[in-house]
Structure 1
Amino acid sequence: MSAPRRALLAVGISLLSALFFTATYVLNRAAAVEGGHWAWTAALRYLFVLPLLLPLMPWQGGVAPVAKAIRAAPGAWLLWSGIGFVLFYMLLSYAAASGPSWLVAASFQTTVVAGMLCAPLLYDDARARIPRAALGVGVLIIAGVLLMQFGHAHGALDRKAWIALLCVVASAFAYPLGNRGLLLHLERRGIELNATQRVFGLSLASLPAWLALSAWAWLQAGPPSASQVGLALGVAISAGVVATILFFQATGMVRDNATALGAAEAMQAAEVLFAAMLGALFLGEAWPRGQALAGAALVVAGIVLFAWIVAHDARRSAREAEALRSDRGN
């Protein structure tokens, strides 16, 4: 497959993953509205993910290579699962009670620049470069997010809203950082694991943290309600299994292309649009309007621009490679 097609396919897969990730915001919001404790919301998702993934593993490379990789470097797996799964989802679940699902989804879209800004801290090669065009579009999307936030809050955020916003922003940095960190660890050790194996491995490595959080949630709020368990199962299937595997597949396809990797991560910005539609249809939430609607339009424009930048960058790289081969042939 040519580089331009691979880059655009990765962007498309990531956009599809955003649709399934949206269940996180809508179902978590439903659990919060019903009075479900945020710690149960966080822990139940990943407690369900492991048994859901197990039947898939024989057809996805098996469990043995994952177990071998974890035994070889347990510290790395604990670190990146702790950042990319535990910290990410605990903060996101805590923020779920702060407002409409589309508002939490909008705040999470700071992830469009999070991965790029973390790159210089992770890499020591060409990937450490922050693509200027991609960063510029990411800033445009964040401007749209802020418009949505302040439009919803009528120009001011109270203390609770600011705490929730900070939690979601930290979560938005933790998710791509954990994913990129694990990819880099595997690359340096020469280990090949597919997307499903990586999700299974991170879920397994994070299991002690989820068991501890479950014990704390039981002490704080007692057992979860049947409704919260059902909602968490829905999140586990849609977001924990389908969306995460799709996202890991997309980012793994373009791990060596800084612009395409940033764009694949940025497609998660579409979640705010999906969340607005699903929240209005199923939770009776108000549609964004006024400033918030203008912000949503900026997010859409940013997604379109990212797709164009990726296609342009991939075509340019292909032309440069072809010119190099021609020069060598002469």
Structure 2
Amino acid sequence: MVKLILLGLLAGAFFSSTFILNELMSNAGGHWFWSASLRYVFMWLIISAVIILQHGFRRIEALASIFLQHWRFWCLTGSIGFGVFYTGICYAGDHVAGWVVAATFMFTVVTSLLVLLAFGQRFDKKFIIYAFLVFIGVVLVNVSEGLRASALADIDSAPMAEMLLYGALPALIAAFSYPIGNQLVWQVSHNSRKHHPHKDKAKTQQ
């Protein structure tokens, strides 16, 4: 359990640092489109390297074969779970501080529960309390940052409205798209194992 927690913290640290990198690229004049594209490419390279190290190149060939057989499904789910996701957070990072985007994206804890309900899944009711606390935190972060921007700019409403429209909204869309894409993949994988259990047995024997 301790190992899992430490790995989760390490993964969270790396993931959160990417929001800062997005902001640095934006300040240097880089377009959010290239930031989103680079995140996608780097993620693909890292995952491919891990798969090759753990299972060999044959696993990559098998995955490529599965992709070609069902390319419409993978393009759709990939576009939702990663395309819209990366676009949202990188676009938001182009307009607000990186730490605000990172904090707002934590709303994915709430959206994940909503997505699970939409797909007919059930979960322990106590998670609703935790999700509500995350929601309150996200609201406080965005409101406080908007008020600070309004005070610095000496404008009553424009900075707050712009921050919510160009920062919070894209990050919230990303927070929805990520669990939707993942749940679509899980649902199809779960249904496939349920209807074709002999394939799993064959893989286990191998």
Smaller-chain TM-score bracket? 0.7 to 0.9
Offset at residue 92 of structure 1 (A): 0.8
Q: Does 1:132 align with 2:135?
A: no
Offset at residue 24 of structure 1 (A): 1.6
Offset at residue 130 of structure 1 (A): 4.4
Which residue among 93, 98, 121 is the counterpart of 2:118? 121
Q: Does 1:84 align with 2:81?
A: yes
Q: Give the aligned residue type for 2:162.
A: K
* Aligned twin of 1:180: 183
Q: Give the aligned residue type for 1:132.
A: K
Offset at residue 10 of structure 1 (A): 5.1
Q: Does 1:93 align with 2:95?
A: no
| Deviation by residue 1:236-282 (Cα, 9 ceiling, x = unmatched) | xxxxxxxxxxxxxxxxxxxxxxxxxxxxxxxxxxxxxxxxxxxxxxx
Q: Which consecutive unaligned segments of at least 5 residues does structure 2 have?
A: 149-156, 194-198, 201-206
* Aligned twin of 2:160: 158
Offset at residue 49 of structure 1 (A): 3.5
Contact 1:80–1:181, Cα closer than 8 Å, also in 2: yes
Counting only pairs closer than 5 Å after superposition, residues 17-166 of structure 1 correspond to structure 2 as 17-61=11-55, 62-123=59-120, 128-154=121-147, 158-163=160-165, 164-166=167-169
- How many Å separate the matches in 2 of 1:130 and 1:176? 15
**Which TM-score applies when normalising by structure 2?**
0.78
How many residue pairs get matched? 182
Q: Give the aligned residue type for 1:96.
A: G
RMSD: 2.3
- How many Å separate the matches in 1 of 2:45 and 2:136? 40
Contact 2:110–2:134, Cα closer than 8 Å, also in 1: no
* Aligned twin of 1:16: 10
| Deviation by residue 1:202-260 (Cα, 9 ceiling, x = unmatched) | xxxxxxxxxxxxxxxxxxxxxxxxxxxxxxxxxxxxxxxxxxxxxxxxxxxxxxxxxxx
DSSP 3-state at the match of 2:147: coil
